[in-house]
Amino acid sequence: MDFNSYKIIRDYTESLCESLETEDYVVQPALFASPTKWHLAHTTWFFEELILKQYNTGYQEFNPKFNFLFNSYYNNVGDRTFRGDRGNMTRPTVEEVYEYRNHVNEGINTLFKSQPSSKVLELLELGLNHEQQHQELLLTDIKFVLGNNPIFPVFNKDVNLVNQYNRSDGFIRVDEGVYSVGHSGVGFYYDNELNSHQVYVSEFELSAKLVTNREYIEFVSSGGYQDFNLWLDEGWAWVQEEGVDSPLYWYNENGVWWNYTFHGYEKVDPNAILCHISYYEATAFAAWKRMRLPTEFEWEIAADKLDWGQRWEWTNSAYLPYPGFEIAEGAVGEYNGKFMANQMVLRGGSTATSKGHSRKTYRNFFHPHYQWQFSGIRLAK
């Protein structure tokens, strides 16, 4: 790793914002979606707080107040602003946040010149992977901001991210047996991918393709959102309380389905792969098809035979630690372990996932009612 590889990833984050107006940077329509300005600052805070202030002697902090403003959930690092207030901060300005990024980049460049230790290089690698995670979150949050605007503005006429198509069909059969899962070998990994261990699975079949919009429209048209028999109890309560009757960004106009994309408002392509679906909707659809979602272990075992990476795929596995999982000391230990409750695992990756940030052992996780990620459905039986 060198400063050039660091800068490539950091510059890509900023390139995602090139078509935004200044007003777009600050908005926060929901508690779970962070403003663009906050993402730009928080990823910078990570390098400043966890690396530069600890390992770069003589580094001058850009602004002492930024630790409070741009810490996300690291209790070991100190107090932080309430998550729902991230969109209420008109100051610092967007321009100042970009100055902050440049200041920290200069500090990292100086650090690289000092021949950093292996521990620092490991933290730099973690910081870059953390930034890549936020690149995807940045795209999902930008879409949520613009998708909640009633004029449905175009974000990028050259980018769509939802009109992808299956290249495979049928089902893939996997024999009963004991298989190894989890990360092993070389390459970057998160601690939640450890430890590699053996699992037993019964014989199963996994769909070679992801569910399409056409299939899901059939589910909606058949009354899928009105049939409580198809839904988990919490999922049915969510449908009733929130008035959910379609995937996120879908609208029915005189019997025709439309959706908001980065291109703007356009008709749903029935042949494209379904997107922006919650775990609750995924399980209801699977029940309607008289099938189920795969477990995360089934997914990983079959991954080499699958065409994956178009959508984050909901699994039927709760986000829990693997055998022997240990939480690291300090702030780094807060990265994954403390979130292992009330969340479901998604596998694969999506069209919004940054290049080089996908692997078959990667464990993404979200609460089951979230739709705003680029998520889809793969059926199992």
Scanning the chain, the segments in alpha helix (DSSP H) are 3-15, 36-47, 53-55, 66-70, 94-113, 118-147, 213-221, 233-242, 279-288, 296-302
Q: What is the pTM of this model?
A: 0.97
| pLDDT tens readout for residues 229-265 | 999 999 999 999 999 999 999 999 999 999 999 999 9
| pLDDT tens readout for residues 166-218 | 999 999 999 999 999 999 988 999 999 999 999 999 999 999 999 999 999 99
Q: Which domains are delineated in the chain? A: 3-147 (1.20.120), 171-376 (3.90.1580.10)
Residues 218-254: b if buried by 16+ CB within 10 A, e if exposed: ebbeeebbeeeebbeeebbebbeeeebebbbbbeeee
Give the three-class secondary structure for 223.
Answer: coil
The predicted structure's pLDDT at residue 106: 98
Give the three-class secondary structure for 55.
Answer: helix
What are the C-alpha distances in Å from 47 to residues 135, 314, 318?
A: 15, 31, 31
| pLDDT tens readout for residues 282-320 | 999 999 999 999 999 999 999 999 999 999 999 999 999
Token pair, residue 109, equals 């460049």
Element of type H or E holding 190:
none
Residue 2 binned pLDDT confidence (cut-offs 50, 70, 90) = very high
The predicted structure's pLDDT at residue 185: 86
The predicted structure's pLDDT at residue 306: 98
